[in-house]
Amino acid sequence: MKSESNIREIFGFLQQLAANNDRPWFKARKEQYDILRAAWERDMERLIALVAQWDDKARGLGVKQAVYRIYRDIRFSPDKRPYKTYFSGVIGAGGRKCVSSGYYIHLEPGESMLCGGVWWPEKDKLAAIRSLIDAEPEEWLRLMADPALTSRYSLDESEALKTVPKGYPKDHPMAQYLRFKSYIFVKKLADDYFDCDDWVQRVNDDLRPLKPVHDFLDYVFE
């Protein structure tokens, strides 16, 4: 099956939007946006169905729950640009409102990515994840050594603590994994990643190696 949305056309639109991020420009091209958005949503709907074949959390998820709007919430932001310059969505329990592990797809010229894991969990859940890694180090290290995962993803360390959290010794054998505030795995995508007949199937195949990590992390949400 061939993907419906032309990612190169989406990228072209988003590049123009980034250079003309204002309501008059967008209004004049709303019809073009609606066509691109509709095709993107149909492909996302199919992606959700594919993921649901191997992850129950995607079952019953509606595409409208999963994809983000292009309109920015500027009420409390000093940045008053009205539109996002990317398409994105979350596949997981609750879609965009997912608080457990989820799969994230981000389309943006030069900045596209696939992500998975738990993003900024609440304090008690973060503590529980750290405790789980402390209690099950061999299982966590086995997951971290899985070539299907490591050949695609890297664990985002941008928001990690400089030292281990309180309650753990500085020389803890799992110190490098206890420092994280989020447990997010990232695969950066070149624009030509989507230059294929069926990018939806390709994304599905690349998301699947995240499932064992999600099963581990989701233990604290059960």
Cα separation, 21 vs 13, whole angstroms: 11
CATH of domain 7-221: 3.30.930
* 108-127 tens-digit pLDDT: 999 999 999 999 999 999 99
Q: Please state the pTM of the whole predicted model.
A: 0.95
Cα-trace Rg, the chain = 19
Among 73, 71, 66, 124, which Cα is nearest to 98's? 66
Amino acid (one-letter) located at 166: K
Counted residue by residue, the chain has a size of: 222
Average confidence (pLDDT) over 17-36: 98
Please give the pLDDT value at position 203. Answer: 98
* 85-104 tens-digit pLDDT: 999 999 999 999 999 999 99
Enter the tokens of residue 201: 């199937």
H or E segment to which residue 15 belongs? helix 7-19
Question: How do the domains of the chain map onto residue ranges?
Answer: 7-221
